[in-house]
């Protein structure tokens, strides 16, 4: 379990992606990330959305005089 019963220097199987497998993995991974970004933008738009941080209420940026009791 902890390595005490294993043979010393037992050969391990190396599982790595090489050549065309690596290229296919990279293309599929990139496509998946791009697809996730597009889906999130369709569901909850952030990029190119002028109302982004203020979905519920747009703030009023007009100047208003302070009330007299605050001065």
Please report which confidence band the pLDDT of residue 35 belongs to, taking 50, 70 and 90 as the band edges: very high
pLDDT of residue 39: 92
Q: What is the mean pLDDT of the chain?
A: 80
Whole-model pTM? 0.53
pLDDT confidence of residue 5: 67
pLDDT of residue 46 exceeding 80, the answer is no
Residues 6 or more apart from 53 whose CB is under 8 A from it? none
Confidence of residue 21 (pLDDT cuts 50, 70, 90): very high
Task: Give the domain ranges of the chain.
Answer: 21-58
Residues of the chain with pLDDT > 70, as a percent, come to 77
CB 60 within 8 A of CB 54: no
């Amino acid at each position: 379990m902890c390595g005490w019963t294993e043979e010393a220097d037992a050969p391990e199987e190396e599982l790595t992606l090489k050549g065309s497998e690596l290229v296919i993995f990279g293309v599929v991974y990139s496509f998946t990330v791009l697809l996730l970004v597009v889906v999130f933008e369709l569901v909850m738009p952030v990029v190119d959305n002028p109302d982004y941080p203020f979905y519920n209420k747009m703030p009023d940026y007009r100047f208003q005089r302070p009330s007299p009791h605050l001065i």
